[in-house]
């Protein structure tokens, strides 16, 4: 796997750490470690930095002076695309999809606050189910008419170029394991737009690393639909990498049982996961992505899915700014603190 064939901007300057989570491991009865991609550079970090390392490099190589991308109203991908666009002196235009009706607040906290603070060049909010790619295309035409050179990045940078970021991460993990002498039987990650899981699968296949990747659905309620998406993107990424072998479809595993009430609607299992990691390891996860993937890991452990001797790697993809838009779901924290007036 020769990733040097593809331009990148150098946003990932060193491997993110793999940390043992001893107190969480004790609670679950299985050894759990975290790959801390929440510590990646960028405005408050997160996994999209790895993908944008390649995506923005392609944009710049084509002479772009403006980026257009899309995501949900609290999109971590949009936050990081905007942040890196600022660092690269590029315009950044966002199309935000209100996937849950009446949840967009222009004065909202979390990533929405950061879109305003960082001053995106434009933000357009469209109803859930809209043709967001068509919206990006129409905006691109307007910018071209103004003499701009826009470059479109799909939601989550979930195309083969963006997925190279997680093929590189898989290679990074393999190197860390060789250096440390560790091994992991499973890796658990959030599975949404698909670029992270597909990139990992492509990277592990290309490096012949036998880690079972389990994606926890955070958006789509149908397992087969998500697995078909991941399979297609994995194969396209391997094709881009020039991989000559056959990729076994049985390597794609998605679990929809921890989605809760739907995208951005956390169940009690998700909220328990947020509390548990905070109170055992002082690590924050959000209720939309990493909280649901952690709930999946916890649920699988309690079901006895992991066997004696298994070691599990939890991919922490970041996104904790969204945590602060869900304060009302943690009344035991917010209520007493507000009542006492702090300390």
Which residues belong to the active site? 75
- In angstroms, the CA 77 to CA 302 distance is 31
Using H for helix, E for strand and C for coil, what is the string for 139-207? Answer: HHHHHHHCCCCEEEECHHHCCHHHHHHHHHHHHHHHHHHHHHCCCCCEEEEEECCCHHHHHHHHHHHHH
- In angstroms, the CA 233 to CA 196 distance is 10
- Cα angle at 101 between 97 and 107, to 5 degrees? 70
Alpha helices in the chain (DSSP H): 22-28, 48-61, 76-87, 110-117, 132-145, 160-180, 195-207, 223-241, 268-281, 290-303, 331-340
Could you tell me the two tokens for 201? 């699968």
- Taking the alpha carbons at both ends of the chain, their separation in whole angstroms is 54
Specify whether the CB–CB gap between 114 and 96 falls below 8 A.
no
Residue 69 CB neighbour total at 10 angstroms: 27
Could you tell me the two tokens for 230? 């991941």
Residue 145 CB neighbour total at 10 angstroms: 8
- In angstroms, the CA 129 to CA 82 distance is 23
Collapsing DSSP to helix, strand or coil, 64 comes out as coil
């Amino acid at each position: 796997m020769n990733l040097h064939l593809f331009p990148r901007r150098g946003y990932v300057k060193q491997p993110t750490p793999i940390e043992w989570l001893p107190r969480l491991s004790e609670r679950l009865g299985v050894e759990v470690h975290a790959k801390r991609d929440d510590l990646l550079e960028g405005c408050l970090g997160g996994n999209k930095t790895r993908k944008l390392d390649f995506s923005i490099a392609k944009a710049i190589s084509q002479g772009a002076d403006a980026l257009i991308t899309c995501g949900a109203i609290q999109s971590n991908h949009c936050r990081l695309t905007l942040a890196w666009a600022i660092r690269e002196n590029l315009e950044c235009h966002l199309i935000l999809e209100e996937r849950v009706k009446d949840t967009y607040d222009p004065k909202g906290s979390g990533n929405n606050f950061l879109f305003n603070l960082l001053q995106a060049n434009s933000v357009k909010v469209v109803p859930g189910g809209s043709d967001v790619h068509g919206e990006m295309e129409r905006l691109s035409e307007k910018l071209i008419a103004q003499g701009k050179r826009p470059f479109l990045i799909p939601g989550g940078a979930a195309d083969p170029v963006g997925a190279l970021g997680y093929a590189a991460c898989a290679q990074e993990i393999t190197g860390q394991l060789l250096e440390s002498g560790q091994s992991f039987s499973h890796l658990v990650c959030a599975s949404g737009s698909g670029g992270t899981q597909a990139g990992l699968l492509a990277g592990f296949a290309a490096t012949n690393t036998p880690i079972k990747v389990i994606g926890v659905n955070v958006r789509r309620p149908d397992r087969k639909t998500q697995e078909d998406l991941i399979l297609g993107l994995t194969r396209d990424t391997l094709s881009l990498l020039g991989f000559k072998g056959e990729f076994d479809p049985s390597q794609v595993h998605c679990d929809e049982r921890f989605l809760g009430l739907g995208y951005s609607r956390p169940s009690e299992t998700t909220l328990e996961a947020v509390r548990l990691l905070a109170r055992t390891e002082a690590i924050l996860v959000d209720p939309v992505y990493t909280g649901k993937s952690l709930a999946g890991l916890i649920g699988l452990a309690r079901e006895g899915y992991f066997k004696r001797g298994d070691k599990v790697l939890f991919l922490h993809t970041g996104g904790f700014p969204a945590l602060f838009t869900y304060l009302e779901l943690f009344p035991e924290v917010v209520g007493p603190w507000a009542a006492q007036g702090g300390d």
